Amino acid sequence: MAFWWVNHKQTRDYEVQGEYLWSPKFNQNGARNQSYDNMVIARPGDVVFSYADGQISWVGVVLADASTSPKPMEFGKTGIYWSDEGWHLPVAFQKSAQSVRPKDHLAKIAPKLPAIYSPIQSNGNGNQGMYLTAISDDLGELLLALTKTVLAVADSDTETASTVLQQLTDIDQLRISVEIPETQRAQLVKARVGQGLFRSLVLLKHPVCRVTGVSDKRLLRASHIKPWKDSDNFERLDGNNGIMLSPHVDALFDQGLMSFEDNGRAIFRSDLNKDVLEKWAIPPSHSASPFQTGQRVYLKMHRERLDAIGAYRY
């Protein structure tokens, strides 16, 4: 996962609502522009911070690689001097919990800005010549914390305010920890927001949802089998401690309402209304392929949560 900053005051509303970024391929004089070239460097899963009117108010996740596309008709007279052909980058945006004025946090932000192709000037004003610019992991993580953003693709339960707060607290603690090596610290932060090394390792284990069979990675969550809060730092990054699930299945799994036998058979907590399974088209007797040896250790602990209450085994 990489972090990006987009300056798009003129087109922000169109792009956020339409879930995309668009730029011409070249400057008006035909010269290359690094901030336009970045459109084809961004990859699915990367995070984009939207800057307009002096604030970062939206955060997005890249959904697919950029492709050649005509200038959006909704731009109208905006960018009248831009060429009619450019790059279209699909990005799903969500409103940040806290809007942030970079000027108010320059002391923290300025040291983390890139030496060249910076998205803002030293006084905090936007850099008009820059559109999409790459920023460091340190700055990206700082902006996630400042905007109090928990990405919609997060790997664990993000449904309640208390859970969101806990996730942000975990990230802050990781960022300031001096006991964890810098490289591992960065990997742990990304794992906490459902990205990076952990997600990649889980995808290698089984790249589809165990229940629905959905293989579109944009629609899957890398869920920890042993909860993040109960895991040590090794377990938090261990691909064996993960399973790819569709969001509605993840909601059941993460809350301990369902689990899996080692042979892949789904089991459900006894107090789960069968009506939920019917409406979500989840067969109560569903069985997937067997889990790998490393995953079975974590699954045993996950099943024990159900056994304490009582589980159906169809």
Q: How many CB atoms lie within 10 A of CB 165?
A: 12
What is the C-alpha separation between 138 and 134, in angstroms, rounded? 12
| All residues at 6 or more sequence positions from 122 whose CB lies less than 8 Å from its CB, including other chains | 110
pLDDT at 14: 92
What is the number of residues in the chain?
314
Angle of CA points 90, 141, 191, to nearest 5°? 80
* Residue that is written with structure tokens 């004025």 in the block: 101
Using alpha carbons only, what angle is made at residue 94 by residues 93 and 95, rounded to the nearest 5 degrees?
130
* Model pLDDT, residue 191: 62
CA distance 225 to 203: 14
Q: Which two tokens stand for residue 60?
A: 């997005």
Spans of the chain below 50 pLDDT: 152-165, 314
Instruction: List the beta bridge partners of residue 67.
Output: 88
CB atoms within 10 A of CB 278: 11
The confidence score (pLDDT) of residue 118 equals 96
Rounded to the nearest 5°, which phi and psi values hold at 62?
Answer: -65, 130
pLDDT (tens digit per residue) in 150-184: 654 433 333 334 444 455 556 666 656 657 776 66
Look at the pTM and tell me if it is higher than 0.85: no
